[in-house]
């Protein structure tokens, strides 16, 4: 088995070499710009890993892996317009550096480019690969729409939230692994089990992210602690707290949610205090563990040598044990 | 050969029956909305026609034909955001009826849906069809970007203009016909000749549209005569006039282009007068004829029974002889 870090280096190098036409500049320059912002290249590396896992040649998976990275960055480019985000990975977003029209159209062109890259597989698996890719793309669009609609609603429940994060982030992880497995020559059943592993791991990972926002070590987490609380983001923690808070707690929580002027630290402290009273952290960790267990359960059933399953377990552990 | 009007009816019926998931509503309702605005369904009908032309079963081409219509409407949904267009086919545009975010994301989902529909062809031709579709999509994105960039420029020349209309509108016509031909079992050379026919016909058709805007019979043209003149749209006529106008003519033309307050009829009359002095209509008609000739030249070389080529000639004539 190749090391994940080596696969990340391999795909980073391939992405650096990816070129687009020079003209029209305003269509293609933003594509190069967003791809050059970097990131961990985890998704494409996982596609290569899944291929390698089943004994496939990772060279055959480089272009599909780039397709996943180009697709992911297309969704980021459009999401940033919708969220009016000024920054992406510490750099100015495309719609701010150019304008929204450029970001819409460059994103569209990226989606076409990702389709072209994903087509670079053997004829024998072309339809299977493209079917998974298209279903994944539909899921991501649905997840983004549901997430946007949550901002207008105050009655989101836990099941709706879990469905949203499944679609918005987890199916891409699952689809990426499934495509890599297909390229690597996996049987349909094993490719599907790897998909289930990826989707459940993705949900667990997102729940962990919700927990870390409140309870993470600010030095290790890399984001502002309490950012979700400050912005009233509907996370697992907030939705659960809204469900469980009663009487004075409910009144206090809702007053923090409606307050327009507040001291950020006061709000984070007060809302965290309510979470603590309601044991929300434990509840979120239980949910996270439930999905991690589902992921490991799917993994146990994949027809692979035990040391390869162990490799996947270690990868999952490394994702889920970010220090608090 | 089936009649084009019958094929239009066939595809209209299929599009009416096309359903999307109910949820998330804000993702899928706009897709149903824009598709229900109607239109002539000319592009998908031409895909069926191209299939029929080579003896293929049009039933096998219904889903790819719908893919072309869904793709075309996706580009309209995004173009309307970029152009801030309030109306589309006399109805409120998606970004006005919902909002820009909804139009961005529904458009993205439509593109995925168009890919899924286009995949519904035999394995033996899947890659060829998808390659043509992806190249077409890239061309349309490039054309839209070039068109947007023209608004910021005052040095656009005729070659750039012809390249823009080729990409923005003509390659979709060519790609549509080529895909239909492939599904119908055409040889690669014949499919490519039909592509060339479509692209050149598309350019000729767009040039005719430029001419009709100024010289068309308002009762028959269906748009406001002089609309392009009023909005300073860079058409073949305006670019040619800017190239050829000298001295007082050039000064007068440029003064109309820079004037912020004006009587629309006065501007249309004055600019048309300059066009007439410079014989711009003849020049545009010559260019249109050049592309029509290229289209008919490609057509003559297609390996089809003469009566089928004649059918295509009559179709081209019907497109190009809209009454003035």
Quote the pLDDT of residue B143.
98
ipTM of the complex: 0.95
Mean per-residue pLDDT, B33-56? 96
In the CATH scheme, what architecture does the domain A1-186 have?
A: Orthogonal Bundle (1.10)
**Which residues of chain B approach chain A closer than 8 Å at the C-beta?**
24, 26-27, 78, 81-82, 100-102, 104-105, 107-109, 111-113, 115-116, 119, 123, 126-127, 130-131, 134, 137-138, 141-142, 144-146, 148-149
In this prediction, residue A219 carries a pLDDT of 75
pLDDT at B217: 82
Instruction: Please give the pLDDT value at position A221.
Output: 62
pLDDT of residue A208: 96
Q: What is the pLDDT of residue A51?
A: 98
Q: What are phi and psi of B88, to 5 degrees?
A: -140, 120
In chain B, domain spans: 1-185, 187-324
CB A176 within 8 A of CB A47: yes
Give the residue from B103, B131, B138 with the most A CB atoms within 10 Å of its CB, the best one to mutate. Answer: B138
Chain A nearest CA to B322, separation (Å): 33
Contact B1/B53 with Cβ under 8 angstroms? yes
Distances (CA, A) of A242 to A18, A208, A253, A289: 47, 19, 8, 22
H-assigned helices in chain A: 4-17, 25-36, 42-53, 62-82, 94-97, 100-118, 123-150, 158-165, 171-183, 188-215, 218-221, 227-230, 236-244, 247-258, 264-277, 280-300, 306-320
- Does B112 sit within 8 Å of A101, measured CB to CB? no
Q: Which residues of B262-297 are buried (b: 16+ CB within 10 A; e: fewer)?
A: eeeeebbebbbebbeebebbebbbebbeebbebbbe
Q: pLDDT-derived band of residue B222, with 50, 70 and 90 as boundaries?
A: low
pLDDT, mean of residues B117-121: 98
- Measured between beta carbons, the chain B residues lying within 8 angstroms of A103 are none
pLDDT of B323 higher than 60: no
Q: Comparing A1-186 with A188-324, is the CATH topology the same?
A: yes
- Digit-coded pLDDT (tens) for B194-217: 999 999 999 999 999 999 999 988
Can you give the pLDDT at residue B218? 76
What does the DSSP assignment read for A196-246?
HHHHHHHHHHHHHHHHHHHHS-HHHH-S-TTHHHHTT---HHHHHHHHH--
- Give, as one character, the DSSP assignment of residue B280: H
Q: What tokens were used for A314? A: 């270690």
Residue that wins the pLDDT comparison between B189 and B322? B189
- Count of beta carbons in the 10 Å neighbourhood of residue B209: 19
The percent of residues above 70 in pLDDT, for chain B, comes to 98
Pairwise CB contact (< 8 Å): A148 & B123 = no
Cβ separation A109–B26 shorter than 8 A: no
Q: According to the CATH classification, is domain B1-185 in 1.10.600.10? A: yes
| Class of the CATH-defined domain B187-324 | mainly alpha
- Encode pLDDT of B146-185 as tens digits: 999 999 998 999 999 999 999 999 999 999 999 999 999 9
Name the minimum distance, in Å, from the CA of A146 to any CA of chain B.
Answer: 6
Chain B positions touching A116 (Cβ under 8 A) are 134, 138
Four-way CATH pick for A188-324: 1.10.600.10, 3.90.470.20, 1.20.1260.10, 3.40.50.150: 1.10.600.10
Q: What is the torsional sign of CA A220, A224, A229, A235?
A: negative
Residues of chain A with confidence (pLDDT) below 70: 221-223, 322-324
Q: What is the mean pLDDT of residues B92-99?
A: 97
**Is B301's pLDDT higher than 90?**
yes
The whole-number pLDDT of residue B322 equals: 57
Supply B52's token pair. 């029929």
């Amino acid at each position: 088995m190749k090391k994940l870090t080596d696969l990340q280096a391999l795909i980073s190098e391939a992405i650096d070499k990816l070129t687009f036409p020079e003209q029209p500049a305003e269509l293609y320059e933003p594509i190069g710009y967003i791809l050059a912002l970097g990131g961990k290249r985890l998704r494409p590396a996982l596609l290569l890993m899944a291929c390698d896992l089943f004994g496939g040649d990772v060279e055959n998976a480089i272009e599909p892996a780039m397709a996943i990275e180009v697709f992911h960055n297309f969704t980021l480019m459009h999401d940033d317009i919708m969220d009016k985000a000024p920054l992406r990975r510490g750099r100015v977003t495309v719609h701010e550096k150019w304008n929204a029209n450029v970001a819409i159209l460059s994103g569209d062109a990226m989606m076409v480019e990702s389709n072209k890259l994903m087509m670079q597989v053997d004829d024998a698996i072309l339809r299977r690969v493209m079917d998974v890719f298209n279903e994944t793309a539909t899921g991501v669009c649905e997840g983004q729409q549901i997430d946007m609609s949550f901002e207008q609603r105050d009655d989101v429940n836990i099941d709706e939230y879990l469905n949203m994060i499944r679609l918005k982030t987890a199916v891409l992880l699952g689809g990426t692994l499934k495509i890599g497995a297909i390229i690597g020559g996996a049987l349909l059943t094993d490719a599907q089990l790897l998909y289930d592993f990826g989707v459940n791991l993705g949900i667990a990972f997102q729940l962990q992210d919700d927990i870390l926002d409140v309870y993470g070590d600010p030095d290790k987490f890399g984001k502002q602690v309490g950012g979700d609380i400050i912005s009233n983001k509907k996370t697992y923690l907030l939705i659960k707290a809204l469900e469980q808070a009663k009487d004075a707690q409910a009144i206090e929580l809702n007053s923090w949610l409606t307050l327009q002027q507040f001291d950020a630290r006061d709000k984070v402290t007060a809302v965290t205090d309510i979470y603590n009273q309601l044991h929300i952290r434990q509840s979120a960790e239980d949910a996270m563990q439930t999905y991690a267990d589902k992921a490991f359960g799917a993994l146990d059933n994949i027809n692979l040598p035990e040391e390869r399953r162990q490799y996947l377990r270690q990868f999952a552990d490394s994702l889920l044990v970010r220090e608090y």
